[in-house]
Structure 1
């Protein structure tokens, strides 16, 4: 058990504090069903994806001892782009062909989960973009190197956690800049990633997030939107809801999906729609929902 201070029970976000357009989800499957039924916006059978593309990157920041790879499927619906990260080389080329010109209903029923997630993200981005009227607080990232922008995003994400120094955070989806930001706030963490391995500081990375949530040694969960694409988001959400734990999401995957779960297990979201911070050296934009505000 964690020897640090325990976080207080997190009360659900009051419906009056959320935009009616956002406060709508009880479960992920329920959200998909509502989208298919046309309850969230325009008839999805009449909306077609014009552009589908994948973005691949490999990175090793200056001064870091290890690197990583990213691959993201993105779908464009009008002005909106929905995205879902996948493990490198796991997305077949045929998936992109399947998406181009297809309607949202078809894609929400696609056999590949990342396609379904990206399609739902595109649809919800089209319906409820990241604007103040939908509850978003826009945060500007400074221009600079990928590491400069990564650290700025990490500070904004970690600021959404309402925890005292000494508390312990389960980090699902290891990003070294996030771990660095937690350390700077005096927060402990358990790093978790399906890839395993070690962090930049030689700490072991566990691989079973659900086992860690049940262990009781963590006071809050900070999780990547990638959990939507690998099917682990719902168990994390249900655990947070049942145990009153904070669940803060940092989302390039599903940035328009996850704000729908505020008050239903998710306490805050840092939403980062395409284009992501690592694609450009100029100023960037992220959008924060819920939480206690930026520090």
Structure 2
């Protein structure tokens, strides 16, 4: 499984891996399937897809969109014999990757999206791509790479004032690399319009937050805390709930120290730092 918010590079790196493997004759290509499109797919559909993906990388995006019935079918397909997959006959050989922008606890801790047995089968190896709201240490280098990717003139690249703005606002970049694409294009457009570099930052910042920044992803139960009947209050429930509150504050305010005094849930940020 490959997890990470939208725009963190999941699809990009899977394509890069596929190209690298193709050059070394390890895998011969990539077959991508959107979970929403395959939501109610039957056995025949998956036989065709596995056949198409023979000796390739089979990527199933947005795995949480698959219906429970489809997950049950795939569960049977993914049981192996001599390293091969299939329904009635185990004959297909490929490498399978499932992606999701949902948090691991949302997929794991209830069956709202994924059956427990299905999750267990597809989560033998989990890779997580952090977002800029979590880790921003490389955001300036990432922007420079984005600028270069666009083939924009190096002499017109934004200065250190933009770098400071970028780093201080990174927790608001819910589109991640897609937001960097938009920022680079917008900056370049103002350069072409003849706007001075001194004025561009203000215009780019205003445009970004009012027009084209990616909204915070809210389609999953990010603010839901799941309880299990076998949880022990002091051993499991209490420490997990404290972590839940702490993570909520980080998502909402970027840093614990930015949380208003006594928020959220009446907890000072200094207290949350110790959790």
TM-score, normalised relative to structure 1: 0.24
* Bigger Rg over Cα: 2
Which structure dedicates a bigger proportion of its chain to strand? Answer: 1
Q: Which has the higher contact order (CA 8 A, sep 6+)?
A: 1
